[in-house]
Amino acid sequence: MDRTYNYHFTPPKGWMNDPNGLIYIDGVYHLFYQHYPHDIVWGPMHWGHAVSKDLLHWEHKPVAIYPTKEEYIFSGSCVYDKENVSGLGTKECPPLVAFYTAHNPVTGEEQQSIAYSTDYETFTKYVGNPVIENKKDTAADLTQEKPAFKKDFRDPKVFPNPILGGFSMVLAVGHQLEFYHSMNLLSWEKTGEFAPKEGFKEICECPDCFPVETDEGTKWILTLSLTSHIMPYYVGEFNGNTFAEEKGEFEESVSTPLLDYASDNYAMVTFANCPEILMLGWGESWDYVSQTPAKNYRGKMTMTRKAQLVKIEDGWRLRFTPATLSGVAPKDVWQGILQPGEQKEFVVGTNKKLVLSVTEEEILVDRSKAGDLSFSDYLQTKAAKFSAKRLKTGDCNITVIQDNGYVEIFADDGFVVFSVMTY
């Protein structure tokens, strides 16, 4: 039997993973996503599509972008080209431009391509694709007939550039990120790079870069997902060409914060063209999602989260709150305080309990007795328990939302979040 969720988006059928092209236009939230409609396991990637006016109730739309035998439609983003700088629409009917990674399933080569729509539902692939070609890697073994192309060259996130004008793109390229700039969304020039801190030297995926207004002026947030399935974020400055992490008053020893401290959230990105900072992620884990019980569909999204940037003792940190809490039934929400040394059990099934506990230093989540973990060795050994350093002291303010076994925990006033699935 398939699970039904009251507050979490699921596909109409088939497979779903990363959210793509999140964007807000004229009162409507658009969610595109990695989708394979013909099976409940990963397959040739399409872009699925759904819309909502409240981020809680979603209307399924037809598949937005289809793959071919030579091109799977991997993750990316959308831009509302209001001034029609691309020329792909008109001033009266601005185009929605979707940036995606065109993945060749035979060679593995990846290019950045676009498709566009003037009805925001039916998309046409651009005849000039790719807009960013995968240039040959000159550092490759020159004894080969042709140097290799860059591997893991994907997941373009495009955003307005307030310094140079036009638009910038942050792209995941192997173990680092690259930045590009364009005035017309069609012609792109590389402008910079960013390498994550030591300890995060893994394949990067699904980056995002966005400004946040604070009492001390504009700060920029850079987020990414790593193949270890963690999502660090950095606070700093964007100079129009690249991102630089903020240094100075905060110690190097301060750990890099994460968007989520459990394993059932990945590829979380923001809604573009939106007056608030709203983030949505894929509420699953690559380590065991293909083993989870399912029949007609597999995959869900997290609830949408509102983010604020707040300065605390450890530095600038994102504080998250559920964006649609008012639409959640009281029986599915617990809000309260745990003092250091206390714990609370959440019933997630018959005699099945998820345990949340708090110390002065840590917040701990234990799902080892919250359901069946036997179908996955990883679940039993590496993902049965989670912990995170506290970012507040004393009492711990907590909000917990339960939705048919999927539990989202906002602890320490929302500075520490855990997304945990139970089975």
How many whole angstroms separate alpha carbon 281 and alpha carbon 296? Answer: 21
Please, what is the end-to-end C-alpha distance for the chain in angstroms? Answer: 12
- Amino acid 173 reads V
DSSP one-letter string for 177-222: EEEEEESSSSS-EEEEEE-PPTT--S-EEEEEEEEEEETTEEEEEE
How many whole angstroms separate alpha carbon 271 and alpha carbon 249? Answer: 31
Residue 248 token pair: 């100075």
Distance of CA 285 to the CA centre of its chain: 12
How many whole angstroms separate alpha carbon 53 and alpha carbon 29? Answer: 6
Specify the residue for token string 């995170």: 388
Beta strands 14-25; 297-298: pairing state: parallel
Of the listed 18, 81, 155, 412, which one is catalytic? 18
> Among positive and negative, which fits the CA dihedral 76, 47, 95, 8?
negative
How many whole angstroms separate alpha carbon 144 and alpha carbon 153? Answer: 21
Distance of CA 307 to the CA centre of its chain: 13
Going through 81-203 in order, the beta strands assigned E by DSSP cover: 96-103, 110-117, 124-125, 153-160, 167-173, 176-182, 189-194
Active site residue 395: no
Residue 348 token pair: 């997630």
> Among positive and negative, which fits the CA dihedral 95, 273, 21, 61?
negative
Active site residues: 18
